[in-house]
Homo-oligomer: A and B are copies of this chain.
Amino acid sequence: MLIDPKSNVPIFRQIADQIREAVDAGVYRPEEALPSLRALAVEIRVNPNTVQRAYDELDREGVIESRRGLGVFVVDQRRLAVGSRAEKKLARLLKEAVATGSAEGVTPARMRELFESTLRTNLQAAGKRK
């Protein structure tokens, strides 16, 4: 893990990016523990808070999962794989949407934006119906 403190890319993002790549590349296996916050902080000589912020980002993305008192672990993507029929249906629709967007050049960030917007709109509509 190499960090360039002078880069314009924030340190916490450099960390997150490298871990994300490592997970995608299979360097860390599903359910495997990553280095502890403090251990990684010492190793790359940054403040533990900075590492935490990186882990936070990966947690929100669903790449890793932290278990208090135990450590942080690579999420087994297969475990996410949809139980109920409702979820299967949803997953299929999402896959179609993402594939379409991707094929037509919409960036992931923009897709996330649209997804969140849709979610929010839906929630408000649902709320008002109460």
Interface residues of A (CB under 8 A from B): 5, 8-10, 24, 47, 60-63, 68-69, 77, 80, 82, 84, 86-87, 89-91, 93-102, 104-106, 108, 110-124, 126-127
Q: Is the CB of A121 within 8 A of B87?
A: no
Q: Is the CB of B102 within 8 A of A126?
A: yes
| Least CB distance, A57 to chain B, in whole angstroms | 9
Q: Is the CB of A77 within 8 A of B122?
A: no
Q: Which residues of B contact A110 (CB under 8 A)?
A: 87
Beyond the given pairs A86-B106, A90-B101, 6 more chain A to chain B contacts, judged by CB atoms under 8 angstroms and listed by A's residue number, are: A24-B124, A87-B101, A93-B93, A94-B114, A95-B122, A98-B119
Report copies per complex.
Answer: 4
Q: Which residues of B contact A123 (CB under 8 A)?
A: 102, 108
Q: Is the CB of A93 within 8 A of B91?
A: no
Q: Which residues of B contact A86 (CB under 8 A)?
A: 100-101, 104-106
A117 with B77, Cβ < 8 A, contacts A100-B93, A126-B102 known: yes
| Least CB distance, A37 to chain B, in whole angstroms | 16
Q: Is the CB of B97 within 8 A of A93?
A: yes
